[in-house]
Each structure stands twice: as structure tokens, then as C-alpha cells.
């Protein structure tokens, strides 16, 4: 072969031109050499082992995905059930409160007129003995579902109507017994609810935001509406103090006055 530089004849196996000294080709393939000296040996894989491992991983993956899907489906079902229960309870409570508000529109009218307009039927006695003994009323419309409060059975909610001798509606009261289901004392609060800073005429929304709990009952009369709250808190002595809070508004939802009555155990 000819030298690529000087053109002189050299042997086919010569690495260097004897005439000009140019290097024709590397003596050793460095890449191959380093692989031989330091590289990992090529280990032939067992096709059967690889196949088995692949199947096992696939099975594990498939099994895991199945379980994951089942868990997700069960979780979704539980969440859906919880939402449905919450919605049903909310609708049930809302029905009683709405009925009380609508009945109050017929203050001064007879019960018969209210029943006809509202397409509702009021009874003169509750189906729950506890309600008959605990509260005064002439007519009642109540939930068929019941709750236990301090060992006594009450309807989840009730609308109580008081009338005069002419059967004209004098007052309408809504009671939500579910609020007392967990604790007859009412809702646990961090502190005593103080409404001293509100002047007469304050807007309902501002006062209600300060209270920040649901009312146990709402009483409607011709001149005002009174919201009653039952709650308890721990005082400075560490005692659990129960309170009944009554807040009254005029027909335009302007604040009138309030009273906080401390409740103490009887017959000690």
C-alpha cells in the first residue's frame, strides 16, 4: 500500500511509514482495550428467567392496579353516601325552618287559613311525648324522623303554633332538636359570646357573624323575631358553663336586644 503522506510503498501491516514516519493506524484499539481490561463481562441472560420475571411484575402490577381501583371506587362511594346523607339532613332541616317562616306570614290569620294556603296539616298534639311535656303549643307540625336528646325522643325538628281564642296565630316557633343530639348543652364555643358592642339597629348579618353558631330555635311574632342559641364554654376556673342566648330583631332584621342566661345544674 502507499503512504498517504509521502506516497512511498509500505507494507500492508505497517503501522508507521518507514520513509516519513507518519502513523498509519493505531496499534491498539483503546476502546476495545479498556473494555477488555475494565469493562463488565457480558453475561448472557436466561430468556426463561427474564420471561418469568416479566410475568411476575405484570401480575403484581395488575393485582396492585386492581386493588387501587377498588379502593378508589369504595372511597368514591363512601364520599357520595356522606354527601347524600348531608344533603338529606340539610333538606329536612331546611324544610322545617322554611315552613316556620312561611307559617309566620299568616300571623293574625287562623290556622285553617294557613293550612289551606300552605297545603300543610297541623296537629294539636305531638307524636313524641317528650315534646308534649317540654314545650307549650296549640298546634304542631313535625318531622317524622326522631333523635335522642338526653335520653328522651324528639322529632328532628318541629314547628309550634300558639293561637288566641279566635284560633288566630299569635306566634310561630321553629325548634331544631338535632343540634342537641350530641350534647344537650348545645354547641361548644371557645369563649362567652358578648354582643355588648352592637347598638340597636345593627344589621342581622353582622350580629350573626359574631355569634357564628346555628340557632336552636326561632320564634316569630308580629313585632319581632327571636333566635335562641344553646352553647357552653370553659370559664377561667375550668368549669363548663352552659348558656342560653336570646337575640331579637325587628321585622326588618335590625338588632333590638339580647339576653345571656347562665344555666346551672338543679337539685344539687
10 Å Cβ neighbour count for 40?
6
How far apart are alpha carbons 161 and 168 in whole angstroms?
10
Q: Is residue 55 exposed (0-12), middle (13-18) or buried (19+ Cβ within 10 Å)? A: exposed
CA distances to 29, 84, 149, 228 from 180, in Å: 90, 22, 6, 13
End-to-end CA distance of the chain: give it in Å, rounded: 124
Joined grid coordinates for residue 201:
339597629
Q: What is the pLDDT along the chain (268 residues), one digit of tens a residue?
A: 777 777 777 777 777 777 777 676 654 444 454 444 444 445 455 555 555 556 666 656 666 666 767 777 777 777 766 555 444 444 444 899 999 999 999 999 999 999 999 999 999 999 999 999 999 999 999 999 999 998 899 999 999 999 999 999 999 999 999 999 989 999 999 999 999 999 999 999 999 999 999 999 999 999 999 999 999 999 999 999 999 999 999 989 999 999 999 998 775 6
Angle at Cα 167 formed by Cα 96 and Cα 217, nearest 5°?
30
CA distances to 209, 225, 235, 254 from 206, in Å: 5, 16, 25, 10
Joined grid coordinates for residue 191:
369563649
Axis crossing angle, helix 111-118 with helix 47-104, rounded to the nearest 10? 140
Amino acid at each position: 500500500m502507499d503512504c498517504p503522506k509521502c506516497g512511498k510503498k509500505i507494507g500492508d501491516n505497517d503501522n508507521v511509514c518507514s520513509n516519513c514516519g507518519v502513523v498509519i493506524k493505531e496499534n491498539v484499539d483503546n476502546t476495545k482495550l479498556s473494555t477488555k481490561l475494565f469493562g463488565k463481562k457480558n453475561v448472557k441472560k436466561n430468556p426463561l428467567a427474564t420471561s418469568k420475571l416479566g410475568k411476575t411484575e405484570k401480575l403484581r402490577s395488575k393485582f396492585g392496579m386492581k386493588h387501587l381501583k377498588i379502593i378508589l371506587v369504595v372511597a368514591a362511594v363512601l364520599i357520595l353516601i356522606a354527601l347524600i346523607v348531608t344533603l338529606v339532613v340539610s333538606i329536612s332541616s331546611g324544610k322545617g325552618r322554611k315552613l316556620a317562616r312561611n307559617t309566620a306570614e299568616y300571623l293574625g290569620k287562623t290556622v285553617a287559613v294557613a293550612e289551606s294556603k300552605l297545603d300543610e296539616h297541623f296537629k294539636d298534639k305531638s307524636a313524641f311525648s317528650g315534646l308534649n311535656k317540654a314545650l307549650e303549643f296549640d298546634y304542631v307540625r313535625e318531622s317524622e324522623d326522631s333523635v335522642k336528646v338526653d335520653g328522651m325522643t324528639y322529632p328532628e325538628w318541629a314547628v309550634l303554633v300558639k293561637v288566641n281564642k279566635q284560633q288566630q296565630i299569635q306566634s310561630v316557633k321553629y325548634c331544631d332538636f338535632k343540634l342537641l343530639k350530641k350534647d344537650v348543652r348545645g354547641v361548644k364555643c371557645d369563649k362567652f359570646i358578648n354582643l355588648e358592642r352592637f347598638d340597636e339597629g345593627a344589621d342581622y348579618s353582622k350580629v350573626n357573624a359574631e355569634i357564628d353558631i346555628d340557632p336552636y330555635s326561632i320564634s316569630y311574632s308580629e313585632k319581632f323575631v327571636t333566635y335562641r342559641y344553646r352553647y357552653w364554654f370553659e370559664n377561667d376556673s375550668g368549669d363548663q358553663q352552659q348558656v342560653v342566648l336570646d337575640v331579637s330583631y325587628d321585622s326588618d332584621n335590625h338588632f333590638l336586644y339580647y339576653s345571656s342566661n347562665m344555666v346551672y345544674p338543679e337539685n344539687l
